[in-house]
C-alpha cells in the first residue's frame, strides 16, 4: 500500500511539516530505509540513545520521519507526534497489513458437518474443525490447525498454522493464536495416593476475551471444574505456561518463559516480565510489576501498584538493598573469620 505524507499524518494523528505530497511506500529502520519509506525517532529515554537515533535518522535515505514536537531535523518531511512509537505502530499496521492466513476453505481441510462457519471464514490446508465448533465472520484458521468439538472462535480471529484449540474453549473477537500454541489442554491436577497419582479430571474450559494475543508455543490449561480466564486486551509472549483456573485481568502483559501456576489471580494492567513465576493461588492486584526472574511464593498476595524483584519477590527498593549486601558477602565472611581467629577482646574477657 502507498499513501502521501499528508494522508499518513492524518491517519496516525500527527502534525505534518514539509512536503505533504511526498509518496510513502512503507516503513523501515533508519539504516535500511529507502527514500519513500517512513522512519521514527523514539521520544524520551536515555539521552545518548536518543542522540544516536537522531543521528541515524538524519543520515537515513528516508525523506519522512515521525518524531516528537520541538525536535529539530533538517531536510526531512516531519510528522510530529507526542508518542512517535505509537504513531509508527499505526503506520506499520496501515502500510503493512498482515497477510491472510487462509483464503476460502482448502480442499484438504476437514470440517465437520455440524460445525458452523460464518461469512468470510478461511480454513487452510489440513486444518481440522470438529463437530459443533463455531467460527465467527472473517476469522482465519491456518494450515494444520485444530479446533476441537464445541469450541467457539469469535469474529476476525487469526489462528496461525499448527495452533490447537481443545474442545469447548471460547475465543472472543480479534484474538490471535500463534503457531504451536495450545489452548485448553488439561491442567496439572492429580490426587496423591500410596500407589501413585490419580488424575483429577479436568472438565472446565478456557475463556479468552477480545483483542488477546497468544504467542508461539504458549500453553493455557483448561480449568479443573470452572474456567481459566484471559481478560480483554491481554498480550502473552511466546513460551508462556498458564495453569488451570488462572484469571488474568484486562490489558496485562506476560513476557516469554513466564509461568503462572493454578488458581492464581492476576489483576488488570499487570506486567510479568521474562522468566517470572507465580506459585499456586497467588494474587497480584492491578498494576503490579514483576521484574525478570522473580518468583512469588504460594498463596502470596501483592497489593495494587507494587513493583517487585527477586525470588521470593520483594518490593524493589528492599530487593536492591538485599542484592547489594549479597554482593559483599565474601568480604563480610573474611571479616567474621578474622574476628573469630583473634578471639575475644580484652574488655570482653574481663566480663
- Provide the annotated active-site residues: 244
Cell match 489462528: residue? 159
- Count CB-CB contacts under 10 A for residue 151: 25
How far apart CA 186 and CA 102 sit, in angstroms, is 28
CB burial class (10 A; 0-12, 13-18, 19+) of residue 132?
middle
Closest by Cα among 137, 143, 179 to 157: 137
Q: Give phi and psi for 11, each to the nearest 5.
A: -70, -40
The separation between the first and the last C-alpha atoms of the chain, rounded to the nearest angstrom, is: 89
The position carrying cell 535500511 is 32
Taking the C-alpha atoms of residue 282 and residue 198, their distance in angstroms, rounded to an integer, is 25
DSSP state of 105: B
Cα separations in angstroms, 198 against 189, 190, 201, 205, 226: 9, 5, 9, 20, 20
Amino acid at each position: 500500500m502507498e499513501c502521501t505524507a499528508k494522508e499518513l499524518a492524518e491517519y496516525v494523528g500527527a502534525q505534518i511539516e514539509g512536503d505533504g505530497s511526498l509518496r510513502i511506500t512503507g516503513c523501515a529502520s533508519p539504516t535500511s530505509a529507502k527514500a519513500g519509506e517512513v522512519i521514527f525517532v523514539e521520544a524520551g529515554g536515555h539521552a545518548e540513545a536518543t542522540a544516536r537515533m537522531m543521528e541515524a535518522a538524519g543520515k537515513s535515505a528516508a525523506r519522512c520521519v515521525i518524531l516528537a514536537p520541538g525536535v529539530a531535523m533538517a531536510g526531512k518531511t516531519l510528522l510530529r507526534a507526542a508518542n512517535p512509537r505509537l504513531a509508527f505502530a499505526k503506520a506499520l499496521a496501515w502500510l503493512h497489513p498482515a497477510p491472510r492466513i487462509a483464503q476460502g476453505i482448502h480442499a484438504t481441510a476437514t470440517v465437520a458437518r455440524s460445525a458452523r462457519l460464518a461469512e468470510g471464514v478461511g480454513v487452510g490446508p489440513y486444518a481440522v474443525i470438529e463437530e459443533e465448533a463455531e467460527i465467527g465472520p472473517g476469522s482465519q484458521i491456518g494450515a494444520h490447525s485444530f479446533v476441537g468439538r464445541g469450541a467457539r472462535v469469535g469474529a476476525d480471529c487469526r489462528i496461525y498454522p499448527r495452533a490447537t484449540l481443545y474442545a469447548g474453549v471460547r475465543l472472543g473477537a480479534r484474538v490471535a493464536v500463534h503457531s504451536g500454541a495450545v489452548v485448553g489442554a488439561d491442567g496439572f491436577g492429580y490426587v496423591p495416593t500410596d500407589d501413585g497419582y490419580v488424575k483429577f479430571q479436568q472438565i472446565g474450559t478456557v475463556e479468552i476475551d477480545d483483542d488477546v494475543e497468544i504467542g508461539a508455543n504458549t500453553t493455557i490449561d483448561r480449568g479443573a471444574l470452572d474456567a481459566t480466564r484471559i481478560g480483554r486486551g491481554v498480550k502473552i509472549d511466546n513460551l508462556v505456561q498458564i495453569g488451570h483456573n488462572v484469571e488474568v485481568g484486562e490489558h496485562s502483559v506476560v513476557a516469554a518463559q513466564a509461568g503462572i501456576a493454578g488458581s492464581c489471580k492476576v489483576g488488570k494492567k499487570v506486567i510479568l516480565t521474562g522468566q517470572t513465576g507465580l506459585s499456586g493461588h497467588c494474587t497480584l492486584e492491578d498494576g503490579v510489576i514483576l521484574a525478570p526472574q522473580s518468583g512469588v511464593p504460594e498463596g502470596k498476595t501483592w497489593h495494587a501498584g507494587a513493583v517487585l524483584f527477586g525470588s521470593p519477590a520483594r518490593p524493589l527498593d528492599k530487593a536492591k538493598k538485599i542484592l547489594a549486601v549479597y554482593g559483599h558477602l565474601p568480604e563480610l565472611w573474611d571479616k567474621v573469620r578474622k574476628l573469630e581467629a583473634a578471639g575475644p577482646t580484652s574488655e570482653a574477657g574481663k566480663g
